[in-house]
Chain A
Amino acid sequence: MVRSRRRITATERNEYLLFLLLVGPNLLLFGVFTYWPLFYNGYLSFVRWDMLAPIKIWVGLDNYRYLFTSPEFGTILWNTVVFTVSAVLLTCGIGLLMALLLNQPLRGRVAVRGIVFSPVMLSGAAIGIVWIYIFDPRYGLLDFFIRGVGLRSPNWLLDTSWAMTAVIIVHVWKTLGYAVVIYLAGLQAIPRELYEAALVDGAGTWARFRHVTLPGLSPVTFFLVITTVLAAFQSFDIIKVMTDGGPVNATTTLIYYLYEEGFVGFNAGRAGVAAVVLFLAMFVFTLVQMRYSERSVHYA
């Protein structure tokens, strides 16, 4: 009896050691490079430090006070909201339309799916560069079409009132295929019997879309909204390549500001505040979404 009990504890100990071996390195790296930075960002947001000098000066809430009263930071928060909301609405809206279309039994749709999805795979830096060429107001492809309908193309990337639109267009163009894939998977997950039942009940096309397709898609829509918001919050390469946050901060979002303060201006305190705000925004957003989803998501 005693012997067998001892053997069980030995196996347990072995399993525990094996666990440490298998999961330990992964968790350790998360500790050092994900969780520790969260706390350290918090600390940095309370100091003044130019990252070149060895001295950090504790300034309490000064960095927060400075940023939240500066009009520049207001612009940056507004830019982030505009970029994120437009990106999410356009990506999900156009993505749904494309998915409905590509779910139809049409010849060649498999090839079209491949084309629609391919930008998702490609380097954001490379995509941004291609679009600078397309946006060029003198010999760009877009200008050619705009002239075709009798208008003049704005100087997209150098015009404060158009640069954000240009960056949003490219971001949506690149992420659209992702939404299409998610929505196609969602459409295929809707049980076919629901459509047959609706047909028997005499439901028309719109009624079927409204009462079967849309509710059936609500779980994937929920998933998609979260992932596209996170993607928009984190969008960096396209903005860096296309506009460098300009002209005059017109395309500076929170993540771009964090990069610029930290690695161009060497201002650890302000970059720390930006990181804290970025993290809190994502955290609060996720919590609200989870609350909301409990009431509104229909699991088909």
Chain B
Amino acid sequence: MAQVDFVDELTPGPAVTQAPVQTSWVGHRQSWLSLALGYLGLAACVALIGLPLYWMVIGAFKTTAEVYRMPPTWLPATPTWTNFVKAWESAPFGRYYINTLIVTLFGSGFEIFFAITSAYAFVFLRFPKREWLFLLLLAALMVPNQVTILPNYLTIARLGWINTYQGIVVPGASVAYGTFLLRQYYKTLPLDILDAARVDGAGHLRVLWSIVLPLARPAIISFGLLSVVAKWNDFLWPLIVTNTKDMRVLSIGIYWLMVEEGTIDWGVVMAGTLFVVLPVALIFLYAQRYIVEGIAAGAVKG
């Protein structure tokens, strides 16, 4: 499995034994020139992607005067925490965190639950029109959420769910991508173990809970993390379905903070963006391997 090699390589630690496939465009032998070019390229990648991120972090620690200084300073001359305090005080970020947590936990919870159970049904249960129903589910992948926002807004409004958690969560609770991903993974599980359990009298729910779930853990974690990140960052739907300050999520909160403070104090706004970005950055640092594996699994299939 290609994506497994890839993930092994990404994992720091002594377990890395797989030599990378050589596709050098300079030559199969590493000359000093190719090495120099290689490291120059790495430096360019770091500068290109890393600099804006660095600028966000460093901006949050600069005083108002320093933010507007030209030429810019690469390290804050007098690092300050006041931007964080100001950002926290100028918007109810505590409330935003709670809202975002609730929406993310329930949104991803539903997605992960539906993916686990739907994939099980499509792999291990026999029922009429199974393939047809699976196609119906897959076809939903071709309909982006954005196309459905207007009718869904009307539905949510009719249900009286504007400015509610269920209004944000329920329309996005169903899952096609995760079902597809886990179905692919379930298919690789050793059937002997499952058959043995069935012969021993275990029912489907029992097999799902105590055999399939533990075996499929890596795939479930990968998909779960992608789902959590997507829900945490979601912008368009929460923007439409909420219109009171106390129901805003972090991504909407930071947008309004920028609209209100933007031209006045970039330090405060950068501190606010860090509030939004930090939890995801921490998750990413901790579980990079699983996230990357989940993304690569969708692309390379046998």
Which residues of A come within 8 Å of B, CB atoms? 12, 15-16, 18-19, 21-23, 25-27, 29-30, 32-38, 40-41, 44, 98, 100-106, 108-110, 112-119, 121-127, 129-134, 138-139, 141, 144, 173, 176-178, 181-182, 184-190, 192, 195, 199, 205-206, 208-209, 213, 219-220, 223-224, 230, 233-234, 236-237, 240-241, 255, 258-259, 262-263, 268, 271-272, 275, 278-279, 282-283, 286
Contacts and interface: CB of A to CB of B under 8 A. Distances in A.
Contacts of B291: 121
A173 B128 CA distance: 47
Given A38-B143, A177-B49, A182-B296, A125 B254 contact: yes
Contacts of B9: 110, 188
B295 A178 contact: yes
B52 A262 contact: no
Nearest to A42: B151
Interface string B239-263: 1100000000011101100100010
B233 A124 contact: yes
Given A16-B128, A37-B148, A139-B68, 17 more contacts: A18-B204, A19-B121, A23-B122, A23-B133, A26-B117, A30-B174, A33-B174, A37-B150, A102-B42, A106-B42, A121-B280, A130-B52, A181-B295, A187-B21, A205-B25, A237-B236, A278-B146
* Interface SS, B side: helix
Given A115-B50, A121-B280, A106 B255 contact: no
The size bracket of the interface on B is: 35 or more
Contacts of B136: 27, 30
Interface string B248-288: 00111011001000100010011001001100110111001
10 contacts: A40-B151, A104-B24, A105-B19, A114-B288, A115-B53, A121-B280, A138-B68, A189-B2, A223-B298, A259-B236
Nearest to B143: A34
Contacts of A177: 49
Interface of B: 2-3, 5-6, 9-10, 12, 19-28, 30, 35, 38-39, 41-42, 45-46, 48-53, 55-56, 59, 67-72, 114, 117-118, 120-122, 125-128, 133, 136-137, 140, 142-155, 170-176, 179, 204-205, 229, 232-233, 235-236, 239-240, 250-252, 254-255, 258, 262, 266, 269-270, 273, 276-277, 280-281, 283-285, 288, 291-292, 295-296, 298-300
